[in-house]
Amino acid sequence: MLKINNLHASVEDKSIIHGLEMEVKPGEVHAIMGPNGAGKSTLGYVLSGRDGYEVTEGSVELDGADLLDMEVEERAQAGLFLAFQYPVEIPGVSNMEFMKESVNAIREHQGKEPLSAAEFLKKAKAAAKQVQLPLDFLKRGVNEGFSGGEKKRNEIMQMILIEPRVAILDESDSGLDVDALQVVADGVNSQRDGERSFIVVTHYQRLLDYIKPDFVHILADGKIVKSGDASLAHEVEKSGYSFLGKKYEEAEA
Amino acid sequence: MSQWLNEVIESASATSDFLAPFRKQALSSLEQAGWPGRRNEAWRFTPLTSLEKREVKHVQQAASAQPPSIEGLSAFELVFVDGKLATDTSQLATPEGVTIASFDQLDDTQKQAASEVFGQIKPARHIFGLVNDIASTQGIFIDVADGVQMDQVIRVANLVTQDVDAHTRILVRVGKGASAKIFEHAEGTVASMSTAFSEYAIAEKGHLEHYRFAMMTGQAKQIGGTHFQLGDESTLNSTVVGYGSELSRLDVDIIHAGEHADAKMNAVYLLAEGELFDLHSNIEHTVPNGTTEENARGIVGDRARAVFNGRIHIHRDAQNTLAELNNRNLLLSRRGIINTKPELEIYADDVKCAHGATVAEIDEEALFYLLTRGVNRSKALVMLNFGFIQELVNKMPDAAIRQWLLPKLNDRFAQMEVK
């Protein structure tokens, strides 16, 4: 479904990702762990097409199509979703209007009829309820005045509404207490249907107790240095990233 | 001097109503004032060249026009068409304690009351204010007696349908503990020249909910002012909406004359291609313990120009003042121009005063966020930019006016191109 071949990317001429390989098949959950500065967030931005994140080599295919050749919105319409580590506040644009526009743009791309206001409202209410966001959050400006945890839940709510092919969760666990973590994880797990794939980017093993990965990859220095099953995450939890060499021991202290 | 001003003075000199002594005084001030050129700071960014050589036009044939109807708005409707009051104010079924009357229908007590407001609140030297002083034979006096709470809105529409010089005036008294909602609404597109000034005296504990929509566009020149004087513990909530035209200028003065008054003003302007809009805001804290919060936001289209001058003047005795003024602008095109200028004059030492002015292009981070959700770029830009002013529009207290305005602004915005 998502194939990343020999990906090299740089930000402001600084090479961050060099030679990343990864293949995500339908229904799989891949966790990407790694020390700070390994390029974890960069990967999400590169895949979603953020300005300033330049791919210098390699290719990425989504369902056989060249992802890197698409505009940001086209990637989303093709089924890629990025849950931000730091969701942006946009006062004045209501969450509801935003999501309706989003869902209908994606439906249009899929050749489906747009949802009516009533149909959409019903879905939005259900999604808000699922992530335990009060309904008035739908009417508020996008992330406007939301707490850190509310922003993360709002990301998951958007994912539920958008129904992507592949969702990248960029540190969706950071700054969450256990209850909020459970809500986020439940939201994600509810969307696992054997078809939809996930790339869970996280610094800590904790989230992976709630969202069970099929594969765990360690990202360091812009490439995957080690892959394994869920037990790899536990190994990291126990002994940190020391196996990566001295360079990372300090960062993890 | 300009040809236009000379003609205005000539044609106004015959006026002889109860305001004649004041008009005479204004005339002599006007003759001394002289025509403001580009070197005059107050008009530096707003050229008056197109007005200088204008020939004064009088109404040839009276037209009739209706202001846009606003669903769900419960209002007393007054309409100026081409500068003439088209509403017979004697037919209005006003509640007890409320006077809404044209200048020529006032009794002696009302004349006296109106005289006490006329020219007393607006700045003495504003040249177009003086023009309006001498030429505004068409005017309305509104008086809300002490303690009277008016639920209904009083809408005064100013419509221009032909090439004419129109000078209209509104004088308002809000009594002690009284409350009123007044909506000044100007529309028109044809070549013309309007001046429209209003003065509001809000007494102790009085409350005014106010709207001024300067929505003349195209070749309709409009220069006006709204001037508030706040008594002790009075409150003001005002919303200004500005469209640009060939020449569009609005001066707003908020004068804290009584202590513990609270003023809130939100202004939005949305300037389409080639339009000009100039908002001069002046906040005067002359006494202690007043609060003012003003937010002005504008979107400026291709080859359009917005001017915002935000002055806060805190007098020596005005201790414990809280004044905030924020102006944010968004440029849709590199060929748009924004001149925003803060002017802080603070002579008291125990005050909190904040002033911010920004000019920005699109917030790239927010745009990226919307795009990652599959929203098309053009739509995302509309949502972002419009969101920027919608935030203020949403704060308007009157739901009916708000619901009427939002789609209007949305349509206007949708026709503006991001270049």
Distance from CA of A60 to the nearest CA of B (A): 17
Per-residue confidence in pLDDT tens, chain A, 253 aa = 999 999 999 998 899 999 999 999 999 999 999 888 888 889 999 999 999 999 999 999 999 999 999 999 999 999 999 999 999 999 888 899 899 999 999 999 999 999 999 999 999 999 999 999 999 999 899 999 999 999 999 999 999 999 999 999 998 888 888 888 898 899 899 999 999 999 999 988 888 999 999 999 999 988 899 999 988 988 888 877 777 765 555 444 3
Classify residue A197: in a domain, yes or no: yes
B363: tokens are: 């917030």
CA distance A236 to A221: 16
Nearest to A82 among B372, B380, B384 (CB): B372
Classify residue A187: in a domain, yes or no: yes
Residues A87, B364: C-beta atoms closer than 8 Å: no
Per-residue confidence in pLDDT tens, chain B, 419 aa = 689 999 999 888 767 789 999 999 999 999 888 888 878 888 989 989 889 989 999 988 888 999 999 999 999 999 999 999 999 999 999 999 999 999 999 999 999 999 999 999 999 889 999 999 999 989 999 999 999 999 999 999 999 999 999 999 999 999 999 999 999 999 999 999 999 999 999 999 999 999 999 999 999 999 999 999 999 999 999 999 999 999 999 999 999 999 999 999 999 999 999 999 999 999 999 999 999 999 999 999 999 999 999 999 999 999 999 999 999 998 888 899 999 998 999 999 999 998 888 887 778 899 999 999 999 988 898 888 888 888 899 999 999 999 999 999 988 988 887 66
Q: CA-nearest residue of chain A to B387?
A: A92
User: What is the number of CB-based contacts under 8 A between chain A and chain B?
Assistant: 78
Domain ranges of chain B: 3-362
CA distance B159 to B192: 11
3-state secondary structure of B96: coil
- At residue A252, the pLDDT reads 43
Distance from CA of B336 to the nearest CA of A (A): 23
- A99–B contact, CB cutoff 8 A: yes
Classify residue A10: in a domain, yes or no: no
Pairing of strands A166-170, A197-202: parallel
Residue-by-residue DSSP string for B255-322: EE-STT-EEEEEEEEEE-TT-EEEEEEEEEE-SSS-EEEEEEEEEE-TT-EEEEEEEEEE-TT-TT-E
What is the domain-level CATH number for residue A40? 3.40.50.300
If one counts the domains in chain A, the total is 1
Which residues in chain B have their CB less than 8 angstroms from residue A109's CB?
A: 374
Pairing of strands A29-33, A197-202: parallel
The torsion angle over the Cα atoms of residues A66, A69, A70 and A75, rounded to 10 degrees, is 40
Neighbours of B357 (CB within 10 A): 16
Integer-rounded Cα Rg, in Å, for chain B is: 21
Q: CA-nearest residue of chain A to B376?
A: A73
8 Å CB contact between B354 and B292: no
Classify residue A115: in a domain, yes or no: yes
Long-range contacts of the stretch A184-188 (C-beta < 8 A, 24+):
A184/A131, A184/A152, A184/A153, A184/A156, A184/A210, A185/A210, A185/A211, A186/A130, A186/A210, A187/A130, A187/A131, A187/A153, A187/A156, A187/A157, A187/A159, A187/A160, A188/A156, A188/A159
CA distance B395 to B417: 26
B266: tokens are: 């939100």
Give the B window 355-414 contacts with A, CB below 8 Å: 363-366, 368-377, 379-380, 383-384, 386-391, 394
- At residue A246, the pLDDT reads 59
Neighbours of B406 (CB within 10 A): 16
Classify residue A90: in a domain, yes or no: yes
Mutation target for A interface from B372, B391, B413: give the one with most A CBs within 10 A.
B372
Mark residue A49 as left, alpha or beta (left: phi above 0; alpha: psi -120 to 50; beta: remaining): left
- At residue B385, the pLDDT reads 82
Which residues in chain B have their CB less than 8 angstroms from residue A47's CB?
A: none
- pLDDT tens digits for range B69-80: 999 999 999 999
Classify residue A64: in a domain, yes or no: no
Classify residue A3: in a domain, yes or no: no
State the residue range of the domain holding A123: 28-48+76-252
Distance from CA of B404 to the nearest CA of A (A): 17
Classify residue A66: in a domain, yes or no: no
